[in-house]
Amino acid sequence: MLIGGFTVKAFGRSPLLESLVAAATETDRVLVLIQLNGGNDGLNTVIPLSEYTNLSKARAGILIPEAKVLKLTDATGLHPSLSGLADLYANGRLAIVQSVGYPNPSYSHFRATDIWLTASDANQNLSSGWMGRYLNEEYPQFPDAYPNTVMPDPLAIQIGSSISPGLQGPEVSMGMTITDPTKFYQLVTGMVDPAPNTPAGHELTFIRQVSQQTQQYAAVIKNAASKAANLSTRYPSSPDHTLGDQLKVVARLIAGGLKTRIYVVTLGGFDTHSNQVVAGATETGTHATLLGRLSKAIAAFQDDLALLKVDHRVVGMTFSEFGRRILSNASGGTDHGSAAPLIVFGKGINAGIIGSNPIIPSTVTAANNLPMQYDFRSVYASILRDWFGVPQQELESVLLRGFQSLPIIAAPTGVGRTAITPDSVTLRQNYPNPFNPSTRLQFTVADGPVQIKLFNSAGQEVMTIREGSYPAGTHEVWVDGSSLSSGVYYCRLQQGAEVRTIMMTLIR
């Protein structure tokens, strides 16, 4: 047919056309997510040395001796079991995002995990995961016409017995599972678990072989695994180091050329209500063992990626469903809390600490918690935008609205970011303080969006004071506390990656 004098041909659906439009964004970059199941104690992981005096009052029985903390700066250090991560920090391969959480946190393992994996609000239930929505945007007709020449490989791989809800797309799961490292090597070698030498055993062997052969992506996984072998000698050999075994598989598949964008691995055991430490030797115990496994596995994985010459392609991130309370309990442990630090590692990140140490009150009760500095969805937005190159419109479709980005990923040469510097953002102490019922806030910001919120001592958001764009300069607002009860509150101002927090006291 002719349109405007030009010949036009219309083609029906074909594998060729499917492959041409398979991905919205072309990239060879990979994200590895390490889920710490149970709720990791952030205050025992990234230790706020500047708050050590007050912290020692709140958790004297479990706090790491100050002299044994691995200092990153004069104000902040790591648990002594995290020496591998401290080395990565010193070599510019590790970033810490302080006090990551969300407004109105849930203290339920199941609900909090759902919130993190779906990127929902606390009062919202979603059936799709944030990674699944991202992959659905990139590969909108999956699983039809997949695999194809442009994307012959799994979109995402979870190493574990079940697929993460985070990989659930709007209609179908966007990932596949490798049950465990043993099953992976059986798939690669064509071997199966031995069965009894009986008629029933022979049938079982046959069924297992058929199961392997019918996996949609078995051939491409075997092909990738055959092209690469782990080169690092730093992987722990103990059978307890399952995280290291999982990351060995991931490194091998990445180096073997799989185009898979997302890998999910897990480490459990972080629900440390009791016996978190050994009395009298608080740098040892359950939590120390878990952090040691995490540190050794990540350090070995990063070493392996470098030796395999693929470290420029990979960014990793840890997350847990929540942190723990400020106050330790009577059982030598900590109870479910709210915000906690999040760790990002890799060659392509901005090494350093984003945010400030959490404020620890001089008097702490069991109800006290840490307010968030950064919404976890800001971390997701930053990685999707700056690592995978997701455009803003798609980003808001994936995360359901816009979130302020953080400088987690190093900007490409010649690409600048909005000029918001630490010196350009201040939040002065409110006056009067204590106050009843209103008080004045004065703050200085750069030109652009600003968010000011009020949190109670339990870490729950109680008020949005201001949200919108401000011109560069100093501004003033009044806070009306007439609807609030007496108590201590945290006022949090955020502009870009810069967060300022002050404590305010309302007395009726």
**pLDDT tens digits, one per residue of 103-135:** 999 999 999 999 999 999 999 999 999 999 999
**In this structure, what is the dihedral angle of CA atoms 388, 392, 398, 401, given to the nearest 10 degrees?**
140
Considering the domain boundaries, does residue 3 fall inside one?
no
34-61: pLDDT as tens digits: 999 999 999 999 999 999 999 999 999 9
349 shares a domain with 210: yes
CA torsion 82-85-87-93 (nearest 10°) is -170
Q: pLDDT digit string (tens) for 413-423?
A: 444 555 677 88
CA distances in angstroms from 208 to 200, 221, 223, 244, listed in the order given: 12, 17, 20, 26
Does residue 416 lie in a domain region? no
CB-facing half-sphere around the CA of 53: CA atoms within 13 A = 3
The verdict on 375 and 430 lying in the same domain is no
Last residue of a domain, one of 411, 444, 472: 411
Cα(212)–Cα(154) distance, integer angstroms: 16
pLDDT at 423: 83
HSE-up (13 A, CA, CB side) for residue 377: 21
- The pLDDT value recorded for residue 219 is 78
Lowest mean pLDDT among 13-17, 69-73, 299-303, 448-452: 13-17
Q: Is residue 142 part of a domain?
A: yes
Indicate the pLDDT class of residue 202, thresholds 50, 70 and 90.
confident
Residue 4 three-state SS: coil
Instruction: Please state whether the peptide bond connecting residue 407 to the residue before it is cis, i.e. omega within 30 degrees of 0.
Output: no
Residues 395 and 468 reside in one and the same domain: no
Read off the amino acid at residue 192: V
* SS3 call for 342: strand
Residues 150, 194 share a domain:
yes
Range of the domain at 492: 423-506
Is the distance from CB of 365 to CB of 456 less than 8 angstroms?
no
17 located within any domain = no
Q: What's the distance, Cα to Cα, between the start and end of the chain in Å? A: 79
Confidence of residue 412 (pLDDT cuts 50, 70, 90): low
State the Cα–Cα distance between residues 451 and 495, nearest whole angstrom. 7
Q: How many separate domains does the chain show? A: 2
CA angle 221, 226, 227 (to 5 degrees): 105
* Mean predicted lDDT score pLDDT of the chain: 88
Rounded to two decimals, the pTM is 0.86
Q: How far apart are CA 167 and CA 24, in angstroms?
A: 18
Task: Assess whether pLDDT exceeds 50 at residue 17.
Answer: no
The span from the CA of 323 to the CA of 425, in Å, is 27
Are residue 290 and residue 433 in the same domain, yes or no? Answer: no
> Is residue 310 domain-shared with residue 363, that is, in the same domain?
yes
481, 445 in Cβ contact below 8 A?
Answer: no
Residues 383-411: tens digit of each pLDDT: 999 999 999 999 999 999 999 889 999 97
376, 411, 446 — which closes off a domain?
411
Name the residue among 177, 174, 147, 151 with its Cα closest to residue 162.
Answer: 177
Domain boundary residue, one of 359, 383, 411: 411
In the numeric block, which tokens belong to residue 362? 């001089």
* Residue 159 belongs to a domain: yes
Helices (H), 214-285: 218-227, 242-255
Give the residues across from 33 on adjacent strands: 264, 317
Tell me if 505 sits within 8 A of 481, measured CB to CB: no
* 129 neighbors 404 (Cβ within 8 angstroms): no
pLDDT of 192 > 80? The answer is no
Average pLDDT over residues 156-173: 89
Whether residue 4 is contained in a domain is answered as no
Based on the domain organization, do 494 and 390 belong to the same domain? no
Judge whether 14 lies within some domain: no
Asked whether residue 391 falls in the same domain as residue 485, the answer is no
433 and 382 housed in the same domain: no
Please state the rounded mean pLDDT for residues 6-23: 46
What confidence score (pLDDT) does residue 7 get? 47
What DSSP character marks residue 281?
B
For residue 187, CA distances in Å to 148, 163, 211 come to 22, 18, 10
Confidence band for 8, pLDDT divided at 50, 70 and 90 = very low
Predicted confidence (pLDDT) at residue 11 exceeds the cutoff of 80 = no
CA distance 77 to 173: 39
**Can you tell me the mean pLDDT for 188-196?**
64
Please state, in angstroms and rounded to a whole number, the distance separating the CA atoms of residues 480 and 465: 9
Task: Say if residues 457 and 463 touch (Cβ distance below 8 Å).
Answer: no
User: Is 36 inside any structural domain?
Assistant: yes
Do 372 and 453 have their domain in common? no
3-state secondary structure 179-211: CCHHHHHHHHHCCCCCCCCCHHHHHHHHHHHHH
User: Sorting pLDDT into bands at 50, 70 and 90, what band is 378?
Assistant: very high
Tokens of 415: 């690409």
DSSP bridge pairs for 54: none
Q: What is the pLDDT of residue 15?
A: 46
Place of tokens 């103990």: 238
Contact 320, 268 (CB under 8 A): no
Neighbours of 77 (CB within 10 A): 21
Q: What's 489's domain CATH number? A: 2.60.40.2550
pLDDT of residue 187: 58
Dihedral angle over CA of 269, 270, 273, 276, nearest 10: 90
In angstroms, the CA 305 to CA 235 distance is 12
CB 276 within 8 A of CB 286: yes
CATH of the domain at 120: 3.40.720
Asked if residue 264 and residue 233 are part of one domain, the reply reads yes
Residues 434, 397, single domain; the answer is no
Contact by Cβ (8 Å): 174, 140: no
